[in-house]
Amino acid sequence: MIEILLFVFGGVLALALALAALVSMTEKEARAAKMFMWMLIMVLALYALPLAFPEPLIMNALAILTAIWIAALLIALVPFNTFKIVSWDHPVMRIDERTIMFSRNLLQPGSKRFSEYYSIYPEHLEPDNAFRKNPGLLSEKSRYYSPDTFHAAASAFDVIEYLREMAEGKPSQCSTEIEPNAMTSFLESWSFKLGAHSFGVTALRDYHQYSIVGRGNQYGEPVELDHGFAIALTTEMDHEMVSYAPRGPIVMESARQYVNSGVIALKLATYIRSLGYEARAHVDGNYRVVCPLVAKDAGLGEIGRMGLLMTPKLGPRVRIAVVTTNMPLQVNKKTSDPSVIDFCLKCKKCADVCPSNAIQFDEPGIVDGIKRWKINQEACFTVWTKFGTDCGRCMSVCPYSHPDNLIHNMVRKGLKNSNAFRSAALKMDDVVYGRKPEPKKLKGWLAPGIISSEKTGLSGQ
């Protein structure tokens, strides 16, 4: 009877490893596929050993080893959580959008805006002058310049220019009564139909909003949103495209999902305005809110070590758009997930691979009155201006960024369920995928060579 149970367990284990290898092949994860195949061979050899050498000692040793594996698995899967940090505090102040790197990058030396900004924030002048010496985002002189992918990204950013003009509008004169629960459900279902990956609603808080506009025609004006609710939605960034980070496909995919998420937000905002309510879409380059903070409070994820929104099924591999409105909606009642922050405390993989050393290895500290991790945004953005892309190395190696499928979702369930599982899963991820996995090389339709580098320069950002 014991022999039968041992061989059944061995068969199940072998089947699981074979499935993992097959999934890794479909995900184009060559290292992972090889690792799972080697594990499969070792398991098959181990459980075939008693058949070749039917000695009691060998069978007993195999039984003990199997018992240890089963015990470890049960310990890892039994719900038991201990957390250093249960949840983040709410921010105590609003962010001046003029201080973010995208806004500072737009300042033109010698202009009135340039002089005024650095008279307010003189400490930013030296680091900003450093990044201005570099080629810049999507520059032909940048390290990872590729005409094909860079032109594709620039084209998408050109489309976003049009989307920004449509962010605001006057509501219709009609007065439509709506039922908040039904309307929220409708907007959620419609968002998914339009391509959103996740959707949530929160009450609009003061700390969600920037204090001062940092881009566009309203630069320098105070942000005043008389809206009670905020809709946050995400779209998925393609796993394969992200795996090429920091090469051209990452910025190509970023731009694509900024467009996709922005279009969904614009459709929702336009629809809400047609019913007689105010609504504003917050899309790339035309924000009045800090999207990750809104998305977190809407129940879409947690803010991780790398400073990005960590969603349950895609990790940071998303782009966010927001719609604010005075239409009454049903606020999400999702609670925070401390298991994500706990995993980030252990993992540090993003910090290990960050080319700019912008991500902290330390535990979170007190920043602007609250406990959180702080990204060195100057160091991060300076690397962007050298690479010509938005890097994305942190996103590409994050264990939560693996595709949304059965195997990875089972792992995510374990991460949420058990402190022991989180520790074991991190070690397993390092073994299977590597502690510092190399970016994938461009090949196939993404390989350079479609466009001659001598052709016209980029028209985008």
Q: Is residue 114 scored above 50 in pLDDT? A: yes
Q: Could you tell me which residues are beta bridge partners of residue 365?
A: 372
pLDDT confidence bin for 370, thresholds 50/70/90: confident
Q: Which of 49, 77, 105 is the last residue of a domain?
A: 77
- Say what the pLDDT of residue 249 is: 97
- Say what the pLDDT of residue 460 is: 42
Q: Which residues contact 34 (CB under 8 A, 6 or more apart)?
A: none
Let me know if residue 85 belongs to a domain. no
- Say what the pLDDT of residue 69 is: 83
pLDDT confidence bin for 78, thresholds 50/70/90: confident
Q: Where does 140-247 have alpha helices with state H?
A: 147-164, 180-194, 239-243
322-342: string of b/e by CB count within 10 Å (b at 16+)? bbbbbbbbbbbeeebbbbbbb
Q: Is residue 238 scored above 80 in pLDDT? A: yes
Q: Is residue 459 scored above 50 in pLDDT? A: no
Residues 200, 295 contacting (CB under 8 angstroms): yes
54 and 187: one domain? no
Q: How far apart are CA 176 and CA 274, in angstroms?
A: 9
pLDDT tens readout for residues 404-421: 999 999 999 999 988 989
Residues 125, 378 contacting (CB under 8 angstroms): no
pLDDT confidence bin for 1, thresholds 50/70/90: low
Ranking 6-15, 99-108, 262-271 by mean pLDDT, the lowest is: 6-15
71 and 141: one domain? no
68 and 138: one domain? no
> Stretch 38-44: mean pLDDT, rounded?
93
Q: What value does the mean pLDDT of the chain take?
A: 92
- Range(s) of the domain holding residue 59: 2-77
Q: How far apart are CA 168 and CA 288, in angstroms?
A: 11
Q: Is residue 246 scored above 90 in pLDDT? A: yes
Let me know if residue 256 belongs to a domain. yes
CA proximity to 407, closest of 387, 432, 390: 432
- Say what the pLDDT of residue 449 is: 72
64 and 108: one domain? no
Let me know if residue 379 belongs to a domain. yes
Ranking 88-92, 257-261, 436-440, 454-458 by mean pLDDT, the lowest is: 454-458
- Say what the pLDDT of residue 452 is: 58
- Say what the pLDDT of residue 56 is: 82
Which strands form 279-282's sheet, in the order they lie side by side? Answer: 198-203, 229-236, 318-325, 279-282
Q: Which of 44, 77, 110 is the last residue of a domain?
A: 77
The fraction of the chain above a pLDDT of 90, given in percent, is: 77
- Say what the pLDDT of residue 176 is: 86
Q: Quick one: CA torsion of 102, 108, 114, 118, rounded to 10 degrees? A: 60
- Say what the pLDDT of residue 73 is: 79
Give the tokens for residue 369: 């009155």
Let me know if residue 453 belongs to a domain. no
Q: Is residue 457 scored above 70 in pLDDT? A: no
Q: Of residues 107 and 11, which shows the higher confidence score?
A: 107
CA proximity to 439, closest of 245, 242, 240: 245
Q: How far apart are CA 281 and CA 271, in angstroms?
A: 11
Residues 320, 223 contacting (CB under 8 angstroms): no
- Say what the pLDDT of residue 92 is: 86
Side-chain-side CA neighbours of residue 407 (13 Å): 18
- Say what the pLDDT of residue 83 is: 84
19 and 55: one domain? yes
Residue type, 318: V
Residues 390, 256 contacting (CB under 8 angstroms): no
Global pTM reads: 0.92
Q: How far apart are CA 302 and CA 369, in angstroms?
A: 19
Q: Of residues 446 and 188, which shows the higher confidence score?
A: 188
- Say what the pLDDT of residue 376 is: 96
Give the tokens for residue 15: 């089947």
71 and 102: one domain? no
132 and 10: one domain? no
> Stretch 242-269: mean pLDDT, rounded?
98
Q: Which of 27, 47, 77 is the last residue of a domain?
A: 77
64 and 144: one domain? no
160 and 288: one domain? yes
55 and 107: one domain? no
Backbone angles phi and psi of 163, in degrees to 5? -65, -35
Let me know if residue 206 belongs to a domain. yes
Q: Which residues contact 349 (CB under 8 A, 6 or more apart)?
A: 397, 398, 399, 429, 430, 435
Let me know if residue 460 belongs to a domain. no
> Stretch 179-190: mean pLDDT, rounded?
97
Q: How far apart are CA 201 and CA 461, in angstroms?
A: 32
What is the domain count for the chain?
2
325 and 217: one domain? yes
Residues 21, 37 contacting (CB under 8 angstroms): yes
Let me know if residue 452 belongs to a domain. no
pLDDT confidence bin for 248, thresholds 50/70/90: very high
The fraction of the chain above a pLDDT of 70, given in percent, is: 97
297 and 385: one domain? yes
> Stretch 2-24: mean pLDDT, rounded?
89
Q: Of residues 68 and 160, which shows the higher confidence score?
A: 160
- Say what the pLDDT of residue 221 is: 97
pLDDT confidence bin for 377, thresholds 50/70/90: very high
Q: Is residue 366 scored above 90 in pLDDT? A: no
Let me know if residue 458 belongs to a domain. no
Give the tokens for residue 415: 């991460």
